[in-house]
Chain A
């Protein structure tokens, strides 16, 4: 069965500094991986997805993630944090049981300080 582990429940950075949100996955075959963001009182928005094409995936708002099979990781990065990046971020793996069942990590709350 697939699963994802987000290694940090909270991350705090200063505005203008790099962001690193860590995610490890477990899958018996090549997974589809996603990062979603949830702003307060909002739904979930897709940041980026990996589906076995390029290992470095670029998403919206300057975020990117690198798929590393040897490390079973899919960490999310951004070179320079903005105040508007403060939100909860979810690493997600798709259960390839033939359908689009997403398995969410526990989430990482990102705080950005001035």
Chain B
């Protein structure tokens, strides 16, 4: 068990809808990352937060947004959902924000858009 908790495990919704994915990092970790894993794109970095502030952005669509709250949990909001947004969304956390701080991944939220 990595100590990173993601909810829900599965989410099925329709096109055009909005969903929120939640992540609780490991105790003591200040950085939270979001990744998307899809069959055609593989694993892609979306966004990183450190102690409540956005630190790095990857291939995150404008329809997607995230935030990290004072208690360090994070939420990823996906809106105007399209079929192509169906994927496994991973949250990861680390103590620091540099490349020497290994990431610990949650088990993911599987999103299916119908």
Q: Assess whether B100 is in contact with A45, with CB atoms less than 8 Å apart.
A: no
A15 vs B40: C-alpha distance when bound (angstroms)? 31
B51 at interface (Cβ–Cβ under 8 A)?
no
- Nearest CB in chain A: distance from B26 CB, A: 12
Min CB–CB distance B41 → chain A (angstroms): 10
Which residues of A have CB within 8 Å of B42? 104-107
Report chain B residues within 8 Å CB of A104.
42-44
Total CB contacts across the A-B interface at under 8 A? 65
A100 within 8 A of B: yes
Expressed in whole angstroms, the minimum distance between the Cβ of B99 and any Cβ of chain A is 4
User: Hey, which chain A residues are within 8 Å of B33, CB to CB?
Assistant: 100, 102
- Segment of B12-20, B68-76, B79-87, B90-98 engaged in the interface with chain A: B90-98
By the criterion CB–CB under 8 Å, are B103 and A99 in contact? no
Q: Which of A36-44, A62-70, A79-87 contacts B (4 or more CB under 8 A)?
A: A36-44
Interface size for chain B: under 10, 10 to 19, 20 to 34, or 35 or more residues? 20 to 34
Contact partners of A46 in chain B: CB under 8 A: 102-104
Q: How far is the CA of A45 from the CA of B55 in the complex (A)?
A: 23
The answer to whether the Cβ of A97 comes within 8 Å of any Cβ in the partner chain is: yes
A84 to chain B, nearest CB (A): 17
Contact with B along A25-53 (1 / 0, CB 8 A): 00000001010100001111110010100
In the complex, whether B45 has a CB less than 8 A from a CB of chain A is yes
Please, how many angstroms separate the alpha-carbon atoms of A70 and B101 in the complex?
26
Is there contact, CB below 8 Å, between B107 and A43? Answer: yes
When the two chains form their complex, are residues A44 and B45 in contact, meaning their CB atoms are under 8 A apart? no
Per the bound structure, the CA–CA distance linking A102 and B99 in Å amounts to 8
> Is A43 touching B103 in the complex (CB atoms < 8 A)?
no
Please determine whether A99 and B102 come into contact, CB atoms closer than 8 angstroms: no
A97 adjacent to B56 (CB under 8 Å)? yes
- The residues of B with any CB-CB pair to A shorter than 8 Å are 2, 4, 31, 33, 35, 42-45, 48, 50, 55-56, 58, 90, 92, 94, 96-108
Q: Name 16 A/B residue pairs within 8 A (Cβ), A-sorted.
A: A95-B99, A96-B99, A98-B98, A99-B48, A99-B50, A99-B56, A99-B99, A100-B33, A100-B48, A100-B96, A101-B45, A101-B56, A104-B43, A105-B42, A106-B42, A107-B43
